[in-house]
Amino acid sequence: MTFRKRQETTRPFDRTRKTTCGNCPTGCGLKAFTAAGKLVDILGDEEHPLNKGSVCPKGMLTCLHLGNPNRLTMPRIREDVSSAFRSVEWNEAIAFTARRIRELTEADGKDSLFVYGNETDPFDYLAGGTWFARGFGTRNTPGRFFPRPFGSDGAIRKMFGIPASQMQSNTPRDWCNSRCILVYCSDPAASDPMIFGPILDARDRGATLLVIDSRKTVTSSKATFSVRVKPGSQSILLKGILHLLIRNGWVDREFISEWTEDFDRLRAETEACSPERVAKTCWIDVREIETLAFHLGKVWPVQVIAGDWSTRRHLADADLFGCAAIACVRGSIGIPGGGVNLLGVSPFLFDDGSYGGTEHEDARPMAECPGHIDIERVLAHPDSRPSCLIWRGNPYPVLAGGEAVRAGLERVPLVVHLSAYPNETFQHAHVSIPASHWMEYTGLLTVSNTRAVQCHRKVMDPPGDCRPPIEFWIDLACALDLPEAGVLKDANAREDRAGVYDEFLRKNPLTGSMSFADLDPNTQISGGVLWPCTCPSHLELESTRFVKGTVRGLNILFQRNEKFPLSDTRFPTPSGKILLGLVPKEDAFAAESGADADACPLILTTGFLVDYVEQFGYFVSDRNPALEPSVKIHPKLAKVIGVKTGDKVTVENARGSFSAPAWVCDDVDPRVIWCPEGADRCQPVMNWGNPKLLFDVPSSGRVSNPFTMVTVFRSDSSRDHARVGIARLMKELG
Amino acid sequence: MKIIHVSRNFKTQDVDVNTFDQDEPVLMVDLDRCISCGSCQYACRIEHAGGDVQAGRPRSIPVAVKHGESAKRTMHLPLSCRYCNSPCPYYSLYNFWTTCPAGFESPDQADACDSCVERLGKGFMPACATRCTMKCIYFGYPRDIAFVLNEKRLREMGDLVISALDGVR
């Protein structure tokens, strides 16, 4: 007898429902087993082409969210943040919000209303928020807060004609055809574990797995070859690799001459990045750069993976350009196993103020909407006077900018917060709207690591007065008498709300041919539909000489002899070729690193832990806060400042300080310390200080800094004692 | 039940699956794929919690492995348990550990591993093997395991060490 990995529960149940996990952008298929309307078990969907039956701890422990006693179940309002909340009915909270918005925007203008959005927020919130903001008349839609290099102004858009938020040329099922995979500044094994499966599958089939990161990660521990570089210098390493590829002739000349432009300019720009210079800047050895270039240059096809939800905010134009240029010069575009594969892509992430073409007829034209803004600059800038801010999840602990931003938030007269949990962002709100979990309503999942649009189905009823975000937006629009609010309210009143989602899908040219009914995993093939989906033939499984699709739609973009959807050429650029000449300059993090080098000689970087659920701003696991070490310190540095694992250390710079238990290990460089993000004082776990307090407000037009300069010492000893030791260590290390 | 770990990189003690008792099932953990996400531990707890999985309890699930009639041996599934003042140095180096070097045992530990008899009766693998994120836990009789190992050995060009947990053999 052979045992089977059957995803079946052994508990009694009366109903099985397939749905899609909404915890991270990976979008795994799930099977939910219920008995009398109560959830009894969650397992993976074996028929889903990405996870094939497995789920990560975040998905498996979704049950902890559903019955969690900490959940917010009633709307709450208060006049000012110093007074206590009072629980009210849903309609009263909406009426209160509408009245305050009306009062405040009459005095300060409609542009003083900000609807903040993170690109991994649920579709309901982003689509509804954009629809509401444009109908109301404010220019500050969620799309303007998305990272600039991923938008229409970014390097990828200039190279390929599509923005980086839509750039995933090969879907994960094709990755096993690759011979070399470069994972750039991402830790998918911790941030999106299931997307690491296809990468490991490729490695097990003989592909070389290369990892470039500023610390040792779970991903890099599984790599064939990994390089730990100085934080912020990764894009220079990419240029160094390009320099070696070109110098050694490890480039695909045929592809370059036929399908790219300005290759000579790229050669000239990378001329100066010799391995010796790059090695010195990046704190690595010349041989390490040569090994990376050798692996990338000697096999074909190669692919580059970057931009998971936790690190994409720190990717600058130079990073994305370098990743794409490596795949281009190796001629690995539009073929099985190649490509520039960015994670967390979506057809709806438009940064021009629209959300996939969802427009009111009398809305302000998009041209009036200026470009990218940073939430930190909105809050901290003296000229900016936001009167209303609507946001969701837990963005507060990951805001950079220290006390200036915190003080700015306190000055905002109305903060509306949609969340499932009383986290730290909740503590700074005037109105709290309880949000449904994705298992408690039917909705769309458009941000995806697999370039698919999928849907999640309602499995059980939400507790108390929790409702999906789209209901908040529709009710608020009705209370403010916005146009079209009634139409959407009627469509929303249907059981599955398919009318609302069909409207959004139909208006977006990239998803024009799919409907909500095509996405249901209970009646259709699991895995959703890949976009661009511009004609009915894209709703079928691909079966060509190169591709045997397991997901409906186009598995490989930019294929030879095929036109890109909605375009007349293979690449949707004006010339029909890839532009390699517009080499962006590295973002000048040097200005930051040069500041007060004596007082703050160490580099602090941050990241996420495997069980952090970004969607909720909440850790799903039941960690024991008293025992949770968190600040990673190299043994050499720990010896100098006299710290053992578990000792409390204080990390500080001019902007502030926080204290947390130390974790002595050699994952980081002795000149670098690492700390997980997302912790806040109101979590039941990891409720120590917030590392983002120490980060600077992003400058205009630059990506947020992935690191900041700090000093560290034992919390029960003096900082001067540690400073002497650290200075000596820095001198030793050069 | 025997437990074996296979890996290209980590070496302990060689075993030959063909010499095993062919009627005794084997749980095999492929450490080259394990990302220490903790799914196996959660799976164990969900399976044995009787539908009552709640937040706020310690995370560790050491599993006592029955060996023969009387002897019991504690085994931790691949992730570091974070029960002691963790992560331990071993965790830091390799991102997993299989037995607690400090010998801690969680007060919340499951009873002896029953290799999920209810699931086995239905022909399903145990919960940890079923729910493993990276599909690195296999369960079966030695001939099934030998088949999986041969496949892996082919992939790794023969450079593979198969080890058993000390004393289990």
Q: What is the pLDDT of residue A23?
A: 85
Q: How many CA atoms lie within 13 A of B19 on its CB side?
A: 6
The pLDDT confidence band at residue A326, using thresholds 50, 70 and 90, is very high
Q: Chain A within 8 Å of B12 (Cβ-Cβ)?
A: no
d(CA A351, CA A526): 30
Out of B35, B42, B131, the one facing A189 most closely (by C-beta) is B35
Whether B161 and B7 have beta carbons less than 8 Å apart is answered as yes
d(CA A333, CA A329): 9
Three-point CA angle A293, A296, A300, nearest 5°: 150
Q: What is the pLDDT of residue A701?
A: 67
Q: What is the pLDDT of residue B5?
A: 66
Contacts of residue B26 in chain A, CB cutoff 8 Å? none
DSSP-assigned states of every residue in A274-325:
-HHHHHHHHT--HHHHHHHHHHHHHSS-EEEEE--TTTGGG--HHHHHHHHH
More confident residue, A495 or B127: B127
**Exposure letters A691-712 (e unless 16+ CB within 10 A, then b):** bbbbbbbbeeeebbbbbbbbbb
* pLDDT surpassing 80 at residue A568: yes
**Contact residues for A535 (Cβ-Cβ < 8 A; gap 6+):** A513, A565
Residue A662, strand partner residues:
A631
Q: How near does any CA of chain A get to the CA of B49, in Å? A: 11
d(CA A679, CA A712): 19
Q: Chain A within 8 Å of B154 (Cβ-Cβ)?
A: no
Q: Which helix (H) or strand (E) holds A692?
A: none
d(CA A261, CA A575): 9
The helix/strand count (H/E) of chain A reads as: 23, 29
Q: What average pLDDT is seen over chain A?
A: 86
Whether A343 and A121 have beta carbons less than 8 Å apart is answered as no
Whether A203 and A234 have beta carbons less than 8 Å apart is answered as no
d(CA B91, CA B95): 4
Whether A636 and A729 have beta carbons less than 8 Å apart is answered as yes
Q: Which residue, among A193, A177, A172, A187, has the nearest Cα to A44 in the 3D structure?
A: A193
Strands A541-543 and A548-552, bridge-based pairing: antiparallel
**Per-residue pLDDT tens for A22-78?**
888 899 999 999 998 888 889 999 999 999 889 887 788 777 777 777 788 999 999
The burial of A634, by beta-carbon neighbours within 10 Å (0-12 exposed, 13-18 middle, 19 or more buried), is given as buried
Tell me how far CA of residue A384 lies from CA of A57, A370, A376, A654, in angstroms. 42, 15, 11, 24
Q: Chain A within 8 Å of B64 (Cβ-Cβ)?
A: no
Radius of gyration over every alpha carbon of chain A, rounded to an integer in angstroms: 25
Q: What is the pLDDT of residue A414?
A: 95
- Mutate: best of B1, B9, B10, B35, partner A, most A CBs <10 A: B35
Q: What is the pLDDT of residue B11?
A: 45
Contacts of residue B56 in chain A, CB cutoff 8 Å? 622, 684
d(CA A479, CA A35): 38
Q: Please indicate whether, in this complex, the C-beta atoms of B140 and A44 are within 8 angstroms of each other.
A: no
pTM for this prediction:
0.88
Q: Chain B within 8 Å of A599 (Cβ-Cβ)?
A: no
**What sign results for the dihedral spanned by CA atoms B19, B22, B23, B26?**
positive
Residues of chain B with pLDDT under 70: 1-3, 5-15, 36, 49-114, 154-169
**Contact residues for A272 (Cβ-Cβ < 8 A; gap 6+):** none
Task: Give the phi and the psi of residue A503 in degrees, each rounded to 5.
Answer: -60, -45
- Report DSSP state, residue A387: S
Contacts of residue B104 in chain A, CB cutoff 8 Å? none
Out of A4, A41, A611, the one facing B125 most closely (by C-beta) is A4
Question: What fold is seen in the domain A169-342?
Answer: Dimethylsulfoxide Reductase; domain 2 (3.40.228)
* pLDDT surpassing 60 at residue A593: no
Q: How near does any CA of chain A get to the CA of B119, in Å? A: 7
Q: What is the pLDDT of residue A166?
A: 92
- For chain A, the domains span 169-342, 590-733
Residue with tokens 């990891």: A686
- Mutate: best of B7, B31, B133, B154, partner A, most A CBs <10 A: B133
CATH 3.40.630.30 fits A590-733, yes or no: no
Q: What is the pLDDT of residue A185?
A: 92
Most trustworthy range by pLDDT among A64-73, A282-291, A348-357:
A282-291
More confident residue, B110 or A326: A326
**Per-residue pLDDT tens for A209-227?**
999 998 878 788 888 999 9
* pLDDT surpassing 80 at residue A90: yes
Q: Please indicate whether, in this complex, the C-beta atoms of B133 and A193 are within 8 angstroms of each other.
A: yes
Contacts of residue A59 in chain B, CB cutoff 8 Å? none
Q: Please indicate whether, in this complex, the C-beta atoms of B59 and A44 are within 8 angstroms of each other.
A: no
**Contact residues for A74 (Cβ-Cβ < 8 A; gap 6+):** A87, A88, A434, A464, A465
Q: Chain A within 8 Å of B114 (Cβ-Cβ)?
A: no
Once rounded to an integer, what is the mean pLDDT over residues A170-199? 91
* pLDDT surpassing 50 at residue A663: yes
Q: Which residue, among A134, A141, A138, has the nearest Cα to A116 in the 3D structure?
A: A141
**Per-residue pLDDT tens for A604-649?**
988 776 655 555 545 544 444 444 657 889 999 999 999 987 888 9
Strand ordering across the sheet containing A15-20: A15-20, A29-35, A38-44
Q: Chain A within 8 Å of B146 (Cβ-Cβ)?
A: no
Q: Strand, helix or coil at B163?
A: strand
Q: What is the pLDDT of residue B113?
A: 65
More confident residue, A718 or B59: A718
The pLDDT confidence band at residue A714, using thresholds 50, 70 and 90, is very high
d(CA B9, CA B156): 11
CATH class of the B2-164 domain in this structure: alpha beta
Q: Chain B within 8 Å of A45 (Cβ-Cβ)?
A: no
More confident residue, A60 or A245: A245
Q: Please indicate whether, in this complex, the C-beta atoms of A197 and B135 are within 8 angstroms of each other.
A: yes
